[in-house]
């Protein structure tokens, strides 16, 4: 029974150590990833995604990248990469750090090889001097009247492929950590608003932090030529009412506090007003296009800003007032900067000025540094693979008479010959001339 189980494990190991399987998985992943771009996805366009046929929705095509089977494909690829890497590790290690000089000429690479006669001592010295001068690590071994050598240059290039493949595993680990831990959310708030971090709209994860976010100001800044510069939000982090940090963020310039990062995502114009309800002054901020409303206390009146002119000198707004659940406005009009109007005899409203509503993406992703590590490893691996290719030269001297004999020297070309022969010919020329 145990033998049968081992055989099944061996079989699984053999399957997963196959590069062919890796290529097949890559192809399948690429195919379905492409299909996913043709279907509207739920997290981007939920309305269109829900309009797609039920069968496609059931199969997961409208949430393709989050389906279990797509993640399973990625997981299988990850396993394949891990097993392939383990399988190849020892060979790469030996080729880098445990080079053995050849013991007979049959193991000297034949594709690019040279043979010539000479004196053993002077040839050995010449080989050593030239190869070391050219940056090779040379290892000699002697046996009877013959000696052999192996020389390698740019040996770390052997690790390029291994590092590249391991980098994918690191990337997947980073992605898994990021999606399992931390959170992703969004907040939209006006100037002067304090938002407890745990109250933000969360799309993934749970917020464990307890600090508050105070929006000191939100600005849609324009350049002198009338073009938009950027959106700026001056925010403070409050803990128990005390300011712990303050920073101005803008698009492409986020701010991180205790692992939580705030990204400037959007901006909506708004106005700030003062409502005088029976002598009580209430500050009000309203978003453009009816993004929010003001319900005066003790009334069933709902006031919205249907349009805002955000001119910094003369802001104004168009407003509508609704009573209860009625769809028809009971009052509408324009309110200019500094102007006060009466709302249905219940209260007075004064426009005090502009107020920005800032939209911030809020995210905690413990996996992002692992992602950057994976990216760095991937680049390192590719640089080593393409631009730091090792050159392995080996040779054997067989003495014939006195100390004269024949030196056979060759260079390993791997699957790519180009350029190696030129280097080899130059080395041989220098050794013979030395």
Phi/psi at 360 (nearest 5 deg)? -120, 130
Task: Show Cβ contacts of residue 278 under 8 Å, excluding neighbours closer than 6 positions.
Answer: 298, 347
End-to-end alpha-carbon separation of the chain, Å?
66
- The Cα 186–Cα 169 span in angstroms is 30
Asked if 19 is part of the footprint of another protein (rule: CB under 8 A), the reply reads yes
Mark 79-118 with x for binding to another protein (rule: CB under 8 A) and - for no binding: ----------------------------------------
State in angstroms the smallest separation of the CB of 52 from another protein.
15
Identified binder of another protein from the candidate list 15, 23, 51, 181, rule CB under 8 A: 23
Asked if 179 is part of the footprint of another protein (rule: CB under 8 A), the reply reads no
Report the residue number, 362 or 393, with the smaller CB distance to another protein. 362
Identified binder of another protein from the candidate list 30, 59, 86, 243, rule CB under 8 A: 30
Mark 181-220 with x for binding to another protein (rule: CB under 8 A) and - for no binding: ---x------------------------------------
State in angstroms the smallest separation of the CB of 228 from another protein.
6
Q: Note the maximum CA span of the chain.
A: 122
- The Cα 408–Cα 394 span in angstroms is 8
Asked if 37 is part of the footprint of another protein (rule: CB under 8 A), the reply reads yes
Q: Which of residues 335-394 bind another protein (CB under 8 A)?
A: 361, 363, 365, 368, 371-372, 375, 378-379, 382-383, 386-387
Buried b (16+ CB within 10 A) or exposed e, 188-213: bbbbebebebeebeeeebebebebbb
State in angstroms the smallest separation of the CB of 299 from another protein.
40
Q: Which of residues 399-428 bind another protein (CB under 8 A)?
A: 414-416, 418
Q: Which of residues 261-290 bind another protein (CB under 8 A)?
A: 261, 263-265
- The Cα 105–Cα 116 span in angstroms is 13
Helix axes 420-433, 120-133, angle to 10 degrees: 130
What count of Cα atoms within 13 Å lies in the side-chain half-sphere of residue 375?
7
Mark 297-336 with x for binding to another protein (rule: CB under 8 A) and - for no binding: ----------------------------------------
Which helix (H) or strand (E) element contains residue 149?
strand 146-153
Identified binder of another protein from the candidate list 9, 33, 59, 369, rule CB under 8 A: 33
- The Cα 209–Cα 364 span in angstroms is 10
What tokens appear for 35 in the block?
Answer: 């299909």
Decide: 263 and 249 in contact? Cβ < 8 Å.
Answer: yes
State in angstroms the smallest separation of the CB of 419 from another protein.
9
313: helix, strand or coil: coil
Asked if 1 is part of the footprint of another protein (rule: CB under 8 A), the reply reads no
Using CB under 8 A, list all residues that contact another protein. Answer: 19, 22-23, 26-27, 29-30, 33-34, 36-38, 41, 44-45, 64-65, 175, 184, 227-231, 250-254, 261, 263-265, 361, 363, 365, 368, 371-372, 375, 378-379, 382-383, 386-387, 414-416, 418
């Amino acid at each position: 029974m145990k033998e049968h189980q081992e055989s099944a494990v061996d079989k699984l190991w053999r399957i997963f150590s196959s590069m062919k399987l890796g290529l097949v998985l890559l192809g399948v992943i690429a195919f379905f990833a492409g299909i996913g771009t043709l279907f509207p996805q739920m997290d981007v366009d939920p309305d269109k995604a829900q309009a797609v046929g039920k069968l496609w929705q059931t199969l997961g095509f409208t949430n393709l990248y989050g389906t279990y089977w797509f993640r399973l494909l990625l997981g299988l690829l990850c396993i394949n990469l891990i097993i392939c890497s383990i399988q190849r590790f020892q060979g790469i290690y030996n080729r880098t750090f445990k080079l053995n000089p050849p013991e007979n000429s049959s193991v000297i690479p034949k594709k690019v090889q040279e043979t010539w006669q000479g004196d053993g001592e002077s040839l050995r010295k010449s080989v050593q001097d030239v190869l070391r001068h050219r940056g090779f690590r040379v290892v000699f071994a002697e046996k009877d009247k013959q000696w052999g050598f192996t020389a390698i240059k740019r040996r770390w290039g052997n690790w390029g492929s291994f590092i590249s493949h391991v980098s994918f595993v690191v990337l997947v680990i980073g992605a898994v950590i990021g999606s399992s831990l931390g959170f992703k959310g969004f907040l939209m708030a006006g100037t002067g608003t304090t938002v407890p971090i745990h109250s933000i709209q969360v799309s993934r994860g749970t917020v464990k932090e307890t600090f508050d976010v105070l929006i000191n100001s939100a600005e849609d800044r324009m350049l002198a030529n009338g073009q938009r510069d950027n959106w700026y939000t001056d925010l403070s982090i409050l803990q128990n009412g005390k300011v712990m940090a303050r920073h101005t963020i803008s698009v492409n310039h986020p701010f991180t506090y205790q692992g939580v990062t705030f990204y400037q995502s959007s901006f909506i114009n708004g106005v700030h007003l003062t409502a005088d309800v029976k002598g009580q002054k209430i500050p009000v901020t309203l978003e453009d296009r009816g993004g929010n409303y003001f319900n005066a206390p003790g009334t069933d009146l709902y006031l919205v800003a249907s349009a805002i002119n955000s001119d910094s000198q003369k802001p104004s707004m168009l407003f509508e007032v609704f009573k209860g659940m009625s769809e028809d406005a009971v009052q509408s009009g324009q309110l200019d900067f500094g102007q006060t109007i009466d709302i249905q005899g219940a209260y007075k409203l004064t426009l005090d000025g502009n107020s920005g509503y800032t939209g911030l993406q809020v995210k905690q992703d413990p996996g992002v540094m692992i992602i950057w590590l994976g990216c760095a490893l991937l680049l390192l691996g590719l640089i080593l693979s393409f631009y730091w290719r090792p050159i392995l030269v080996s040779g054997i001297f067989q003495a014939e008479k006195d100390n004269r004999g024949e030196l056979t020297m060759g260079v390993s070309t791997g699957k790519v010959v180009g350029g190696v022969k030129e280097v080899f010919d130059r080395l041989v020329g220098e050794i013979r001339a030395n």
